[in-house]
Structure 1
Amino acid sequence: MSAPGGRVLVVDDSLVNRTVLSRALTAEGHEAFTAENGLRALELLRAGDGPAIDAILLDLEMPELDGFATLEQLKADASLRDLPVIVVSSNEDLDSVVRCIEIGAADYLPKPFNAALLRARVNASLTEKRLGDQRRAVADVLRAVAGSQGLQPVLDEIVTAARRLCRGDHSQLYLVAGSMLRLHAESVDDGVERPGVEPTEARTDAHALDRTSVAGRSGLARAVVQIRDVLEDADYSVPASGRARSRALLGVPILHDEVLVGVITAGRADPSPFTEEQVELVKTFADQAAIAITNARLISAVERQRTELSRFLSPQIAALVSSDDGEVLLAGHRAHITCVFCDLRGSTAFVETAAPEEQLEVIRAYHRLLGTLIPEHEGTLEHFAGDGVMVFFNDPVPVADHELKAVRFALAAQERFAPMAESWRKRGIVLALGIGIESGYATLGRIGFEGRYDYGALGPVTNLAARLSDSAASGQVLIGQRVHAEIETLVDAEAVGELGLKGFGRPVAAYAVHGLRGSAT
């Protein structure tokens, strides 16, 4: 049975001293444990199935490992350094007192000890320990929220921290789902011996908001509920499934802006009540948990929206929309880009004769092919327009050698398109791909209207890439003069002369790219 106070370890080589101190602690409502020297104390504290100690009363003069060395090892161990240690010793040498405080002792009491002073020092240390536990619990939850791994890690941290704060054998966290409370997380203290005992309410995934369970009762009342012994509670009716049930139960509502978010429950195998201090710790923690759950849900919603957004927008644009810096770029800016325009040859004849379902199948396969290649080559999709696809490079994310990457993208598209076109040809569908590429300055940003925006590029470079695509023969990649000037030593390209392009007053020099050279491959 858990004591209403704390669990205190008495470390002293004298059996008489251990007995006297243990009796004094028990008289004040604490649970006392003993160790005859420092080595035995460290073994007990580090044992995975040992008791969870709240404070230590430590003698200095002991065989095998004295108090100074024990204190040093405690403070060097990350899992034990937060335990308050009160030195109780007949050694009143000032240097010894100072040394203990410098190592990390919380206090120093002389022997023979004064009972009232011992009580005050132990209670003060336990209070500080519990507040520290609460601060660390909140910090762990906030780290889980900041980790942006979703809601479940946050719930797991909350339910584990709540169990530890109230010294429960088990705890559960239920969230509101309509008119029910549904189980979302659970924590069980594996170090507690409870043969045949299973967390009663953990076996039920949902509870109604009524008095039949501690979760439902706490949610219904929007208040802390404690059932001291379920065997003596007439309203409690959660089945025990033929096993010994948890006897003492605690329910703490999670409220955010007076709205019920969920309920934290905790239980003990024996009918020992949760102390007022333990209840208050969990209640205060539940207020912090409510904020953490709300924030985790908001972060999860943003991540889901970002994921969904990336299905409809280029990934770079999706990231831009959901970033703080994105608004500046979305508002409009000037950038040097390489623009690629892809267009299907033979699409007019295909559309005139093919069934709508067949047209959709072909267009989807074509778009899927390009959609796979665009992120591989760090391109940004501007739009799909039937069989026309526009991609640009070097915006909104800067891309090194963007002219070369655009050409690599175009050659990869032609290479992968060829076997797909061959399979269509066997069905009587004759289609080929023509690609035009040019680089230059453009104005980029949000275009459209309220309710339907795109991220687009405007400028002569986009028109020139589109017109080069129109002039490209089946399976051909045509590049403009600016792109050729940047990568002429890296590509195998052939001049096709000056082309008269629609919308341009003067002929435009163009080059057909056949492949890459040397390191460019």
Structure 2
Amino acid sequence: MAETGQRLLIVDDNKVNRLLLSRSVEMLGHHAEIAENGRLAMARLNKEAFDLLLLDIEMPEMDGFEVLEALKADLALRDLPVIVTSSVEGLENIVRCIELGAEDYLPKPVNKTLLEARINSCLEKKRLRDEQRRLLQRFATREVAQDLAEQGFSIGGRRVEASILFCDIRGFTALSEAQTPEESIEFLNAYYTLMFDAIANHGGIVTLMIGDGLMAVFGAPQALENTAVSAVSAAQDMFAMMADFNSERIAAGAPAIRIGAGIATGEVVAGYAGTEARASYTCIGRTVNLAARLEAHTKAIGCELLIDETTKNGLGATLESRLIQGVEFTGFSEVMDVYSIAT
């Protein structure tokens, strides 16, 4: 059952109709606001939040069809439920309203019992859509949620230029063995809070978490001006946050935590992988594999942050780096030059 006390906007150029509909809405326990035509209604909708629109068709300045078209074209308003209440007759007009996104069409004079049923049904649908949106925002990044809202969902990907960052904790297995499972979960939650903040502050999104390791992408689904600078800046913030985090741990008698990271820049295929029933946003390709190899290589040579040559070129002369020549990576036929960045 729909919640009571919702805000409804009644749009009708006829004062009698507005008053009667307002009375019916308020008797149902909702709050009724009014607009005398479509232009005034759109002005209010762009400034205020409403839960449902009761919309007439024949109005001066901007009619109901034009309002429906404007709502459909507006990403922020296109999910607002609309019930058309009109004396305009003809099946073609009803069909046009539905095609433009109206939830229902009620002829005038509006039957009160039918109006109540339609309002309750529309508000319940909106409640469910709002709950889905909240869940999406909770379990997906803002960028992925925005991409889904704008582009919709489909399995597959597209080629984009991006920077990929891999990071994990050094010696996490030994650390977790010295803690209870509850302590390990609490530690990981604190760790991920810091890492997510650093990554998000530079336009990146985390696409994968496995234990103590994570993968982040910069440049998809939303483009960035310079993905290499964004990724390296995020990594430096991650190391700075870990330094502060370790100060607190040491003061509490806990061991310091060390992390390592690798960054590669280039073409990736970014999109939704999985099935129609279960999918996640991710990136695949040579650049992703190289970033993972760079992160793993930090352990072998005892450094904290390694980047590939493409990332180095994207940084210009903004950061000092140490050249490491002739590195061979599993799965790559060519020998590479990579760079260590001070953190």
Q: Same fold (TM over 0.5)?
A: yes
CA contact (8 A) 1:155 1:173 kept: no
- Can you give the 5+ residue segments of structure 1 that lack an aligned partner in the other structure? 1-149, 175-182, 188-255, 257-279, 516-521
What's the CA shift string for 1:365-411, capped at 9, x where partnerless? 11111222333211122111111110111111111111111111111
CA contact (8 A) 1:337 1:442 kept: yes
Aligned equivalent of 2:132: 305
Partner Cα separation in structure 1 for residue 335 and residue 21 of structure 2: 82
Q: TM-score, normalised by structure 2?
A: 0.66
Partner Cα separation in structure 1 for residue 171 and residue 248 of structure 2: 15
- C-alpha displacement at 1:414, in angstroms? 0.9
What's the CA shift string for 1:128-187, capped at 9, x where partnerless? xxxxxxxxxxxxxxxxxxxxxx982227889x987723897x97332xxxxxxxx34479
Aligned pairs (5 A) from 1:7-156: 152-154=6-8
1:338 partnered with 2:163: yes
Aligned pairs (5 A) from 1:493-512: 493-512=321-340
Aligned equivalent of 2:189: 364
Partner Cα separation in structure 2 for residue 291 and residue 161 of structure 1: 21
Structure with max Cα Rg:
1
- Work out which structure has the larger RCO, using CA pairs closer than 8 Å and 6 or more positions apart in sequence: 2
CA contact (8 A) 2:5 2:31 kept: no
1:394 partnered with 2:227: no
Aligned pairs (5 A) from 1:313-352: 313-323=140-150, 325-327=151-153, 330-352=155-177
- Secondary structure of 1:472's aligned partner: helix
Partner Cα separation in structure 1 for residue 168 and residue 254 of structure 2: 19
Partner Cα separation in structure 2 for residue 300 and residue 292 of structure 1: 12
- Can you give the 5+ residue segments of structure 2 that lack an aligned partner in the other structure? 34-82, 84-106
Partner Cα separation in structure 2 for residue 508 and residue 290 of structure 1: 68
The amino acid of 1:507's aligned partner reads V
1:463 partnered with 2:289: yes
- C-alpha displacement at 1:415, in angstroms? 0.8
What's the CA shift string for 1:15-44, capped at 9, x where partnerless? xxxxxxxxxxxxxxxxxxxxxxxxxxxxxx
Partner Cα separation in structure 2 for residue 371 and residue 395 of structure 1: 16
1:490 partnered with 2:318: yes
1:164 partnered with 2:22: no
Aligned pairs (5 A) from 1:165-180: 165=20, 172-174=26-28
CA contact (8 A) 2:25 2:32 kept: yes
1:379 partnered with 2:234: no
What's the CA shift string for 1:200-241, capped at 9, x where partnerless? xxxxxxxxxxxxxxxxxxxxxxxxxxxxxxxxxxxxxxxxxx
Partner Cα separation in structure 1 for residue 188 and residue 21 of structure 2: 62
Partner Cα separation in structure 1 for residue 313 and residue 130 of structure 2: 42
- C-alpha displacement at 1:340, in angstroms? 0.6
1:283 partnered with 2:132: no
- Secondary structure of 2:332's aligned partner: coil
The amino acid of 1:317's aligned partner reads V
Partner Cα separation in structure 2 for residue 151 and residue 341 of structure 1: 48
Aligned pairs (5 A) from 1:425-464: 425=250, 426-464=252-290
The amino acid of 1:303's aligned partner reads D
- C-alpha displacement at 1:336, in angstroms? 1.6
- Secondary structure of 1:377's aligned partner: coil
Q: Cα–Cα, structure 1 residues 166 and 294, in superposed 2: closer, same or farther, change >3 Å?
A: closer
Paired residues in the alignment total 263
Aligned equivalent of 2:231: 406
Partner Cα separation in structure 1 for residue 306 and residue 204 of structure 2: 18
- Secondary structure of 1:334's aligned partner: strand
Q: Cα–Cα, structure 1 residues 414 and 167, in superposed 2: closer, same or farther, change >3 Å?
A: closer
What's the CA shift string for 1:35-86, capped at 9, x where partnerless? xxxxxxxxxxxxxxxxxxxxxxxxxxxxxxxxxxxxxxxxxxxxxxxxxxxx
What is the aligned-residue identity percentage? 24
The amino acid of 2:157's aligned partner reads G
